Amino acid sequence: MILLLNKTTPKEGVTVLHMKGSIHSGPDCRRVEQEVEHVISAKSSLVILDLTEVTHIDSSAIGSIVRCFTRVKHSGGKLCLAGCVGMIEASIRLTRLDKVLEMFPTAAVAAEKCSSAN
């Protein structure tokens, strides 16, 4: 399935990237990283990657998430994950990214808890 991206701003300084489909190496990863760059340029201090509707990620996607996390952190912001279940959650935990990135059940919860922690 083609990766679909939708960007929302539930409140000032918070951007949610809703993703649907699979994130694989190549164009999918570049697209996610480019979207995060746009969010950083727009001065959003909290970026939430909503993976609720993502069905599969590969090792390149994990690498992209790490690169996005690093870019957001270097810009003074914060990146959180939302909606990680099944294979997505297992991959995040297997790579121990859950020790570095905060994970929340939904983007709404992430927006509330992450932004109040900033």
Which residue in 72, 63, 61, 64 sits closest to 14, CA to CA?
A: 72
pLDDT at 98: 95
pTM of the full predicted structure?
0.94
Domains held by the chain: number: 1
Q: Name the amino acid, one letter, at 6.
A: N
109: CATH: 3.30.750.24
pLDDT over 90 percentage in the chain: 92
Q: Please state, in angstroms and rounded to a whole number, the distance separating the CA atoms of residues 76 and 25.
A: 27
Tell me which DSSP letter residue 63 carries.
H
Confidence of residue 117 (pLDDT cuts 50, 70, 90): low
CA 75/CA 63 separation, integer angstroms: 18
Q: Answer yes or no: is pLDDT of 1 > 80.
A: no
Determine the structural domain holding residue 109 and report its residue range.
4-117
Q: Which residues contact 112 (CB under 8 A, 6 or more apart)?
A: none
Q: Residue 2: its pLDDT value, please?
A: 83
